[in-house]
Amino acid sequence: MRPHEAFIAELNKQITNNSHQKAAQLLQHFDSRRLKALSYFQNLELAKQRAAYIRWKVTESLDKYLVDFEASVLRKGGKVVWAYDAANALQELDQIILRTKSKKIVKSKTSLASEIGLMAHLKGNKDLVVNETDVGDFLIELTKESPFHPVLPAANLKYGEINKKLNTAIRSSLEADNQELMSDLREETRRNYLEADLGITGANFLIADAGMVAISENEGNARLCYTFAKTHVVLASIDKIIPSISDLELFFSLLSTHASGQQLSAFNTIVGPATREELDGPQEFIVILIDNGRSSVMASQDQRQALSCIGCGACHNVCPVFTASGGTALYQGAKSGPIGQVLNPLQSDLEAYKHLSNASTLCGRCTDVCPVKIDLHNHLARNRHDIVSQGLEKTGEKFGWYTWKKFMLNRKNMNRPAGIKGFTLKQFYKSEWGEQREFPKLAEKTFNQLWREAQGEV
Ligand code: SF4
């Protein structure tokens, strides 16, 4: 199936999925929480402007900041490994696992895991025991679903379904209530932390001047992933850099308020290589810096601002397309929602994934809510412009629009009976309209007729 066909098939599946639709209502609730949390800022606009400026400054000199970050990590005794793409990142990770003789691995939430196919790769190695410690991601793994939302991955799962899966996976009681389920899960996961040789985490931010990474979370599992393990591996994409540790005050609060409506997430950790005085914690700190197509976005001066994303997910919650469909699988790439529609075609293949940039109403709500002021709807429009200017539309599409223009500019055609025009329209949109949408009925009277009637000519 081609990416475009897979997109339509997934959309048709999700739009009729009741649990997806219910979970989509939860997004409204999250958006109201974001709105309430904005009152924590004395001057929200100024905070957003500052954040946008810092992220712009970093993106414009990313090469410098990445080298600064590497130098700071090395100076402190850690390591930085550069990975060009997903395969390269997994190869580097395999070498680290082999060298450190790690057998038990714990992992916390990172969007890069699904981007590079981390869990499938690690689980394919029969010598390893790999445990997911993020509750949402663990449930997703059990149900073999794709995450529903970047911040709420398992929001679409039903309670009974979760209960059954946990009953098989960790022998939690089928009658267990929420609290018991959480307690069973906690007990299971705690053992894994204690026995782990290697802990894998993501990073919300890479701090260039400190050579450390910042992690913001609500479960506390990320910090436990590296507390007991001998080796801490951080998987981070090259666009996560911020210049200084003093910028965290701004970014942590913008992230928490926009992601979950909290003034600050429950656990905010800044971690780096251990100093000589630190007797516990991991002996090795390694950051795998992953490009995976981000340099291609960097190459476009007009579009590179989209790399400023801090992954709060706020744009998902207000997007009419995401809230109607939901589910990250629809977006066929590293990111989902409006930001995924901008970045995924640029990161992988503009021609193959051009349908993502077209599947938007361009209403601009995503741009309004973005804490780092990414001009999302205009980036989508620019993608569309690039598709046309690079001649990447299908021949059928070009012919379709040519015919449409001819038809619309001809008064005789416009005055044809509604039935004929409706039939022509249906032919035009045949493959794109989808099964769930009702085709609009055309007005029985044409504008010409209405005008004449208004003027008393008939
Ligand atoms: S584009 Fe903006 S609103 Fe959307 S996830 Fe990224 S930072 Fe958040």
pLDDT of residue 183: 85
pLDDT of residue 395: 84
What is the C-alpha separation between 181 and 62, in angstroms, rounded? 44
pLDDT of residue 339: 97
- Scanning 261-374, the segments in alpha helix (DSSP H) are 294-298, 314-318, 320-325, 337-347, 354-358, 365-369
Positive or negative CA dihedral for 91, 94, 100, 101?
Answer: negative
In a domain, 315, yes or no: no
In a domain, 233, yes or no: yes
Which residue, of 290, 305, 322, is where some domain finishes? 290
* Pair (270, 405) in one structural domain: no
Contact 149, 313 (CB under 8 A): yes
How many A from CA of 385 to the centre of ligand 1?
22
pLDDT over threshold 90, residue 400: no
Average pLDDT over residues 321-329: 85
In a domain, 1, yes or no: no
Measured CA angle at 115 (ends 112, 121), to 5 deg: 95
Query: Which domain does 426 fall in, by range?
Result: 395-454
Tokens standing for 147?
A: 């995450």
* Pair (153, 286) in one structural domain: yes
> Which is the closest atom of ligand 1 to the Cα of 335?
5
In a domain, 343, yes or no: no
In a domain, 90, yes or no: yes
Stretch among 68-77, 159-168, 332-341 having the lowest mean pLDDT: 159-168
* Pair (427, 284) in one structural domain: no
Which residue, of 268, 290, 312, is where some domain finishes? 290
Average pLDDT over residues 155-179: 79
- Measuring from each residue's beta carbon to the nearest atom of ligand 1, which residues come in under 6 Å? 258, 309-315, 339, 369-372, 374, 376
Reference 189, options 141, 255, 130; nearest CA is 130
pLDDT, tens digit, 9 for 90 and up, residues 24-66: 788 999 999 999 999 999 999 999 999 999 999 999 999 999 9
How many domains does one find in the chain? 2
Tokens standing for 338?
A: 């409006």
pLDDT over threshold 80, residue 172: no
pLDDT of residue 180: 83
* Pair (403, 283) in one structural domain: no
Take atom 2 of ligand 1 and give the residue whose Cα is closest.
370
* Pair (434, 286) in one structural domain: no
Tokens standing for 158?
A: 């039903």
> Which is the closest atom of ligand 1 to the Cα of 150?
5
Helix (H, G, I), strand (E, B) or coil at 290: strand
In a domain, 440, yes or no: yes
> Which is the closest atom of ligand 1 to the Cα of 313?
5
pLDDT, tens digit, 9 for 90 and up, residues 219-258: 999 999 999 999 999 999 999 999 999 999 999 999 999 9
The residue with greater pLDDT, 95 or 16, is 95
* Pair (268, 130) in one structural domain: yes
* Pair (128, 260) in one structural domain: yes
Contact 152, 136 (CB under 8 A): yes
pLDDT over threshold 80, residue 429: no
pLDDT of residue 48: 98
Tokens standing for 96?
A: 């680290």
pLDDT over threshold 90, residue 353: yes
For the domain that residue 76 is a member of, what is the CATH number? 3.40.50.10420
What is the C-alpha separation between 396 and 289, in angstroms, rounded? 41
pLDDT of residue 375: 97
* Pair (284, 167) in one structural domain: yes
Reference 174, options 254, 239, 146, 184; nearest CA is 184
Reference 348, options 335, 359, 363, 366; nearest CA is 335
Which residue, of 245, 270, 290, is where some domain finishes? 290
